[in-house]
Amino acid sequence: MKIDKEAIEKIAHLSRLYFNEKDEERMVKSMNDIVNWVAKLEEVDTEGVEPLTHMTEVTNNWREDEVKAPLSRDKGLKNAPEKDEAYFRVPKVLE
């Protein structure tokens, strides 16, 4: 597959991007490099190789769920830097 200027213009339009002439040429080269790299990966013999779902063999050690009493309001607010009678106080983020 070859990426040309027309394909880049279509992708840019769909992505709501704007490229000037210089950047458009760089993008054509970059996208073709990516396509060529993927084509090279397709040449690799993967016969008998199990697909990976994770990069390592590490697994999580899940704990059993246990029903416990909920955290009380007083304990929850105990270490809060700023609090009201029953709520955390945080800086205003919306006007």
Residue 67: inside a domain, yes or no? no
> What residues contact 19, with CB distance under 8 A and at least 6 apart?
8, 12, 27
Which region, left, alpha or beta, applies to residue 24 given φ > 0 means left and ψ of -120 to 50 means alpha? alpha
| 28 inside domain | yes
25 domain residue, yes or no: yes
34 lies in a domain? yes
Greater confidence, 23 or 95? Answer: 23
Domain assignment of residue 88, yes or no: no
> Is the residue at 33 inside a domain?
yes
Q: Is residue 53 domain-resident?
A: no
pTM: 0.49
- Please write the tens of the pLDDT for every residue from 43-62: 999 899 888 888 888 888 88
Mean pLDDT, residues 23-40 taken together: 94
Number of domains the chain contains = 1
The whole domain housing 14 covers: 5-42
- Report yes or no on 11 lying in a domain: yes
Fill in the amino acid letter for 75.
Answer: K
